[in-house]
Structure 1
Amino acid sequence: MQDLLKDYPSIIEQKIAWGDMDAAQHINNTVYFRYFESGRIAYFDEIGFSDFDQIGPILAETSCRYRIPLIHPDTISIATRIQTDSFYEFGFVMEHVVVSHQHQQIAAKGTSRIVSYDYSKREKAPLPQVLKDKMLACERK
């Protein structure tokens, strides 16, 4: 499993909740977006990009590719990284993987396009260089 996660600087673990399963008896497709959100927030907390009073992140777009179904009980690792070639003036793209401990496989892969947002002005803002530098440093660890 370490090989599946080796290129991701931010990894969190979580147990799958029984209540996240749907009538098809597997984790509902919408739950994966919450997994990605948890991974994003952990990454942002790590680098200090969580100040929602000033310049902070806002989700502009997200996608998910499902690979294997997840069911309860299982534990997952949610791994997150930045596509370092995706930086532009107002944001960047993150990649996520959800790995099943039971199956030792990637259950889902996804992306999130993040925009730097000025919450006081309610508009996009240039991504501060200091935050970009922190992300690049996080990616090198």
Structure 2
Amino acid sequence: MPRLKIDVPDRFGFSTELQVYYVFINESGHLDNAQLLALVSEARERFFNALGYTQTNVENVGVLVSDAAVQYLSEAFHGETLTFEMTANDFNKYGCDLVWRAREQASGREVARGKTGIVFFDYAVRQVAPVPRAFSDKVAALDAAA
């Protein structure tokens, strides 16, 4: 079976730093795979905040995670700081992919990359909603400034 390969852009318009805390380390002595997804969730919230949104209010609709894929490339250890880069691409009528890359800050070593599928959701009527044009415009402007 072929291994998962996730392509990421050369440049991202957004980045944030997150520390690897001791509680994120598994019995093998490195960052636990489930804890990496928790760090990605924090980076995702910071990405939305950088655009002036929260995940529950993007032009009056929220987002739901529809799927996630991760490609692990190296270990991360307690005390390291990871730089998470993120952008949105592969837009469709109701959602897009949030693609991301995590690198160890001091060395630049790539730790992981992935993508999270999101759909926009109108919580008032409990239905998927079209991608807000202002959101995709802000993502494009953020990436263009990088």
Same fold (TM over 0.5): yes
Residue in 2 aligned with 1:55?
61
| AA aligned opposite 2:116 | S
Deviations 1:13-40 (A, max 9, x none): 1221011101111110111111211221
Gap runs ≥5 in structure 1:
none
Gap runs ≥5 in structure 2:
1-8
Equivalent pairs, count: 135
Contact 2:48 2:55 survives alignment (8 Å): no
Distance in 2 of aligned mates of 1:57 and 1:44 = 10
Of 75, 88, 91, which aligns to 1:82? 88
Distance in 2 of aligned mates of 1:49 and 1:29 = 27
Contact 2:83 2:103 survives alignment (8 Å): yes
Of 63, 69, 73, which aligns to 1:67? 73
Residue in 2 aligned with 1:37?
41
Measured on the aligned residues, the alpha-carbon RMSD in Å equals: 1.8
Tell me by how many angstroms 1:106 deviates.
Answer: 0.6
Of 117, 123, 129, which aligns to 1:119? 123
Distance in 2 of aligned mates of 1:101 and 1:51 = 26
| AA aligned opposite 1:59 | V
Tell me the TM-score normalized by structure 1: 0.87
SS in 1 for 2:39: helix
| AA aligned opposite 1:44 | F
Tell me by how many angstroms 1:131 deviates.
Answer: 1.7
